[in-house]
Structures are given as C-alpha cells and as structure tokens.
Amino acid sequence: MVQINMGSKEITLKVVYYGPALSGKTSNLQRLHELMDPATRSHMLTLDTKDDRTLYFDFLPVEFDTVGGFSIKMKLFTVPGQVMHKSTRKIVLAGADAIAFVADSQRSAASANAYSWRDMEANLKAHRIDFDNLPKVVQFNKRDMPDVKSLTEIKEQWGDTPTFPAVATRGEGILETFRELMCVLYRGLDERHDFSAKFAVSEEDFLKGVMKNFRQPG
C-alpha cells in the first residue's frame, strides 16, 4: 500500500493494470509513455516473451511535486495475462493502491474477462487487500473489433464502477481511463489517510500534478 516517508517528504503509490492476456494492458502503458512530456519522460521497462506477450511486468514511473512540499512517485505496472503466470500476477499485485482492469470488449472474450476478474480478486485477498474498497476502474478495450458489447450493456452490467471505452493501439480512451483512475485513487487515499489535511494535497492539486506529465493526443 501507500509508502510515506516523512523524512524525505516522499509518497510512493503503486498502480496496476490487470486483465486477460492480450487485452491491451501493455498498450495502455506504451501510449501513456508516448504521451509523457519528453522533458520529464521516465524510462519504461518492458520484459517480453518471444511471442511478444509481457512476461513479468511493465514499469512506468511518474513523479511530481505537491504544493505541500511532498514528492509523489507513481509506479505503474502491468501483469502477464496468461494463465500460466498466475504466481507472477499475485506478486505484482502486492501493495497495490489502485487497479485499472483492462477488459476485451469482444463478446467472445467474456469468459476470459470473468476469469481474470476472479483471479484478481483472489490475489488481492491473498495479500489482505480490501477488494471491495480498493480504488479501481474498468476499461473496455478493442472497441474497433467486431461483435463487441454495447456501451449500454456494459454500463448496465457494471453499475457504479467507472467504465471507459478504448482502442489502446490508437491511444483512444487511454488518458480518460488514467485520469479517472487517479481520481478514485486520490479519494481512496483521502478517506483512508486524510490525505488533504495531512499532506496539504487537494484532489485538484493531485490531478494537476499527475496530468501535467502528459500531452493531450492529437
């Protein structure tokens, strides 16, 4: 969970992109990396298998300073979606502060999405992380593919959980998903740690600090 170093005035947060194999988790981080301001762009670490699927994780650090004088370091990870890498997914989830679940919009992927969601829930609970209250958003990627679920159907199924359509390979819906993830992350931190009072960081300041790292696509 959130790591707070009062001596160095550093706050470290961990965000994980989770979902079935080839749903677009790595594409999300790749596009975010491309949209980062070249002046502040950090290194992105990617470990791939020979068939170009992420084996362990992608790691994309984002850092900014708050008006309260704290440096916030955001670490973004993805997990391997293949069934065989269950133990790796569990390890990467340790200490997660927020989750972006990347689902495949195609109807044929429904069972894979459901399996991955259950797998995520089990792994979080194994780390004693409160699954129900953990900040999370759901992105329905691959909207450009045939036979996808309608957005109306998705909204009906997911209720109050924030959901976003996306075509990650084209960068569509990437920043919208990420920004909402930062919103729910902040609200969770404020509720659990009284973030605004203790660290003089408002939700507006938090979002400005994060999003200033990125250029708008276009």
**pLDDT tens for residues 22-38?**
899 989 988 998 888 88
Out of 64-68, 127-131, 146-150, 154-158, pick the least confident. 64-68
Per the model's pLDDT, the better-predicted residue between 103 and 70 turns out to be 103
Tell me: pLDDT of 150 over 90: yes
Please tell me the predicted confidence (pLDDT) of residue 56: 47
Per-residue b or e along 7-24, where b marks 16 or more CB atoms closer than 10 Å to that residue's CB:
eeeebbbbbbbbbbbbbb
Residue with tokens 């209250």: 133
Out of 1-5, 17-21, 144-148, pick the least confident. 1-5
Tell me: pLDDT of 126 over 50: yes
**pLDDT tens for residues 46-58?**
766 555 455 445 6
Task: Please choose, from the candidates 11, 5, 23, the residue with its C-alpha nearest in 3D space to the C-alpha of residue 201.
Answer: 11
- Please give the model's pTM, rounded to 2 decimal places: 0.90
Distances (CA, A) of 179 to 34, 57, 90, 95: 16, 21, 25, 21
Apex CA 161: angle with CA 160 and CA 167, to 5°?
Answer: 130
Helices (H), the chain: 25-35, 86-93, 110-126, 151-158, 174-193, 195-199, 203-211
**pLDDT tens for residues 129-145?**
999 999 999 999 999 99
Tell me: pLDDT of 78 over 60: yes
Q: What is the CATH number of domain 3-211?
A: 3.40.50.300
Q: What does the mean pLDDT of the chain come to? A: 86
**pLDDT tens for residues 58-71?**
677 788 888 778 88
Kindly list the domain boundaries of the chain, sorted by start residue: 3-211
Tell me: pLDDT of 210 over 70: yes
Please tell me the predicted confidence (pLDDT) of residue 22: 87
